[in-house]
Structure 1
Amino acid sequence: MSDTSTTTITGTFATRREAEIAVEHLVQEYGLDRSDIFIEPQSSENSAGTKASGGDVAEGEPQADSAEDAALNGALLVSVDISLDTLDDAEAAFREAGATNVSRK
């Protein structure tokens, strides 16, 4: 018999790319609705993470600062309410994508 109760898990990510990879795992592997997963800055300042990634990096080096660069003011927090049946797998997906400080509430 499956457990239908839920809990909230959160994970902290250094880059927007890592956060998005975690979200895609949750959507594609566990069938979660994208609108039930939240990505937000960990602090009160708008942020795209703590380090450049993806389009922010050219040949492994950060590009020169420009007015179009995303703010790197802190880590990103991903949170989702998930059933207890898939909790361990979802936490593993967070960690595989690069999450630190994965916790349950």
Structure 2
Amino acid sequence: MGTTLKAKFETRRDAEMAIERLVQEHGIERTDIFVTAAGSQNTAGTQESGSDNASAEPTREDRDDAALNGMIEVSVDLEDEGLAQTVRDAFGEFDGTQARQS
């Protein structure tokens, strides 16, 4: 029987980094990983990061249109429950909070 682990992230970058760690270093299939807004609105997290930050290029204007409407939730479906701690560790490495198993 499988299990699902979930965590919430404040930035899109942290969510993406946790996902890449799981896929590239631990062999978890992308089709077993799901990303959603933790609330009812579309969101890029609660804080600016990555491409949501002001541009470093002197000829570009700063951005102020990031959808900062709440946290991002990442869930991972596991058939091998032996990977559960690996997933929790990856979530924690990138500041995933409220990690839970369902």
Where on the TM-score scale, by shorter chain, does this alignment land: which range?
Answer: 0.7 to 0.9
- Root-mean-square deviation (Å): 1.7
Aligned counterparts, 1:23-102, within 5 A? 23-58=19-54, 63=62, 65=64, 69-82=65-78, 83-102=80-99
When normalised by structure 2's length, the TM-score is 0.86
Distance between the aligned counterparts of 1:71 and 1:64, measured in 2? 11
**Structure 1 unaligned spans of 5+:** none
Structure 2 unaligned blocks of 5 or more: 56-61
TM-score, with normalisation over the residues of structure 1?
0.83
Q: Is 2:14 the counterpart of 1:18?
A: yes
Q: Of residues 93, 101, 104 in structure 1, which corresponds to 2:101?
A: 104
What CA distance in whole angstroms lies between the structure 2 residues aligned with 1:42 and 1:49? 9
Runs of 4+ in 1 over 3 A off after TM superposition: none
Whole-Å separation in 2 of the counterparts to 1:42 and 1:75: 5
- Report the number of matched residues: 96
Q: CA deviation at 1:20?
A: 0.3
Q: Distance in 2 between matches of 1:98 and 1:80?
A: 16
Tell me the CA shift for residue 34 of structure 1.
Answer: 1.0
Q: Kindly, what percent of the aligned residue pairs are identical?
A: 45
